[in-house]
């Protein structure tokens, strides 16, 4: 925050809002096929707010027996029919399923609370209603959701002891770290959320002010925003999960430009109860989307297996599988690990020697891509954002390259950057990128992350430790790594005063490096 710039906000709101709203419309297609036997109801949520919901029960349910219950809060901006295809599949398997439109969106009442206390309380109210009005078993309650619904599901599981299993798909554990990592506003992601909320929802006065403060770049608003995000982060209440001990299933994508893989992995590692973590190629919610149309889908298949075991007691083996399941962006198969720390069992350290000074305020051509589009292209074609490393202008870019690798380098986990920075102003932003560079000098993006500093004394060096976004990517033999740093990326807001310069150095007593986690050969 400080000297923030957000020139992309208007275009991001327009184009990206249209994209998500179109997806919402497409969501009606599979729902129509699953609509037979669906009951649409009004449920009184927290404070009496009416939540529009639909109920699907197993065929032949006559009240003579009870069934496990699954509650599905909708995603940000999507209507209540979002989950009907999956709800029908779950009902066919013997579940009572209640899906509802979260408060403030579409026909539900109230205002957008952004997974605040009212949203958490709404889940409990929906459970109350289901237990009183359907043949649901109070001893076997599960909650699941995609994106916004995932975050609300985790928060609900922390606050309601009746929830025995949760599936959080493409969600968040730390809301602040998701859209403000490295003290840098993720401007495209936030503009998308803000735009969609204004088009198909009713933001509360608090929500409108939060987005306004976020985009203003006003450093005096930072602590208030941090406190607001902490209240809405499942990581804040993780001790309650350890107390309640629901079975927690979490899935996300490597290229999620709204909720990064890092914060999910950190949260998962701290859980002590039954748990499972899955990462796949793609961007936000793209790994689950085919399942919303009723098509075969690995994420939803594992979600049903999770509930089948932990709610219905089915011995399907999911509890005996390696709990961390990853699919590399470069290969098609799954890899199993006993925990997250085992993913990158070894590491390769790349020295960032010498002293390099770069000028700010200009995009060098090294970018993280465009929200949704770039990671979806990588998911479908394995073509990530690219840059010609030899042609990057050194006036605005710092570049270090490793030696060529003799073997395949299977990057797994979180790349870590350590360096020393000296700025000519008290505030500044830089973005670090790791590239896979082929024989012709074309770099394919492996990972990136932004970093912003405030309150530094101009001319005095300071240390920086930065985690790049977690990933799984195979660098072919004969290729080399390139570490690139510049100061402008359309994904992020920059805080570089006009004419500022940044110097990256490697003191003898504190050498600069990038540590690349690798899977054991």
CB atoms under 10 Å from CB of 191, counted, come to 26
Q: How far apart are CA 346 and CA 343, in angstroms?
A: 9
Q: How far apart are CA 228 and CA 211, in angstroms?
A: 11
By the 8 A CB rule, do 98 and 167 touch? no
Average pLDDT score over residue span 108-115: 96
- The per-residue pLDDT for 6 is 40
What are 182's two structure tokens?
């490295």
The contacts of residue 487 (CB under 8 Å, 6+ apart) are 358, 360, 361, 362, 396, 428, 429, 430, 431, 494, 496, 502
DSSP state string for 422-452:
EESSS-EEEEEEEEEE-TTSEEEEEEEEEEE
∠ CA 412-157-162, rounded to 5°: 140
Q: What rounded mean pLDDT belongs to the chain?
A: 92
- The per-residue pLDDT for 474 is 97
**Taking the model in full, what pTM does it have?**
0.92
The per-type count for the chain, helices as H runs and strands as E runs, is: 14, 23
- The per-residue pLDDT for 17 is 38
pLDDT band with cut points at 50, 70 and 90 for residue 482: very high
Mode of pairing for the β-strands spanning 163-169 and 247-253: parallel
Q: How far apart are CA 83 and CA 80, in angstroms?
A: 7
- Region of 384 on the Ramachandran plot (φ > 0 left; ψ -120 to 50 alpha; else beta): beta
Q: What percent of the chain has pLDDT over 90?
A: 88
- Predicted confidence (pLDDT) at residue 183 exceeds the cutoff of 70: yes
- The per-residue pLDDT for 36 is 56
- The per-residue pLDDT for 15 is 38
């Amino acid at each position: 925050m400080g000297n923030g710039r957000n020139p992309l906000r208007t275009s991001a709101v327009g184009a990206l809002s249209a994209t998500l709203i179109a997806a919402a419309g497409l969501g009606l297609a599979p729902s129509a096929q699953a609509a037979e036997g669906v009951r649409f109801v009004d449920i009184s949520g927290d404070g009496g707010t009416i939540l529009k919901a639909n109920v699907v029960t197993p065929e032949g349910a006559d009240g003579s027996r009870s069934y496990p219950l699954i509650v599905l809060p909708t995603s940000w901006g999507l209507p209540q029919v979002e989950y009907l295809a999956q709800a029908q599949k779950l009902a066919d398997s013997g579940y009572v399923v209640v899906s509802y439109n979260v408060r403030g969106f579409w026909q539900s009442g109230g205002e957008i609370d952004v997974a605040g206390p009212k949203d958490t309380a709404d889940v409990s109210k929906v459970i109350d209603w289901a237990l009183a009005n359907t043949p649901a078993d109070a001893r076997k309650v599960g909650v699941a959701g995609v994106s916004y619904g995932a975050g609300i599901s985790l928060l609900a599981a922390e606050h309601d002891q009746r929830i025995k299993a949760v599936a959080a798909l493409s969600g968040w554990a730390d809301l602040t770290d998701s859209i403000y990592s490295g003290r840098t506003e993720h401007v495209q992601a936030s503009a998308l959320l803000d735009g969609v909320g204004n088009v198909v929802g009713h933001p509360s006065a608090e929500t409108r002010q939060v987005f306004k403060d976020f985009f203003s770049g006003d450093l005096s608003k930072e602590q208030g925003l941090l406190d607001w995000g902490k209240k809405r982060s499942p990581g804040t209440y993780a001790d309650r999960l350890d107390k309640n001990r629901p079975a927690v299933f979490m899935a996300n994508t490597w290229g999620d430009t709204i909720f990064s893989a890092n914060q999910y992995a950190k949260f998962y590692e701290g859980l002590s109860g039954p748990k499972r973590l899955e990462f796949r190629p793609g961007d936000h919610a793209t790994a689950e989307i085919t399942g919303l149309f009723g098509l075969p889908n690995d994420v939803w298949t594992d979600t049903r297996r999770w509930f089948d075991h932990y709610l219905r007691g089915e011995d399907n083996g999911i509890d005996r599988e390696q709990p961390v399941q990853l699919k590399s962006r470069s290969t098609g198969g799954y890899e199993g690990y006993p925990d997250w720390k085992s993913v990158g069992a070894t590491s390769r350290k790349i020295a960032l020697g010498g002293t390099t000074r770069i000028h700010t305020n200009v995009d060098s051509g090294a970018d993280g891509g465009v929200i949704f589009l770039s990671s979806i292209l990588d998911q479908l074609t394995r073509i990530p954002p690219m840059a010609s490393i030899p042609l990057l202008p050194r006036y605005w870019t710092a570049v270090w390259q490793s030696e060529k690798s003799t073997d395949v380098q299977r990057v797994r986990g979180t790349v870590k950057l350590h360096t020393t920075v000296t700025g000519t102003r008290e505030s500044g932003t830089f973005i670090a990128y790791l590239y896979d560079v082929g024989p012709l000098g074309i770099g394919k993006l492996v990972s990136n992350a932004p970093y912003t500093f405030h309150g530094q004394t101009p001319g005095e060096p300071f240390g920086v430790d930065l985690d790049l976004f977690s990933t799984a990517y195979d660098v072919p033999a004969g290729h080399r790594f390139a570490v690139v740093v510049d100061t402008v990326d359309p994904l992020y807001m920059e805080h570089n005063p006009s004419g500022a310069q940044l110097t990256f150095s490697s003191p003898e007593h504190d050498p600069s490096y990038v540590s690349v986690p690798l899977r054991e050969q």
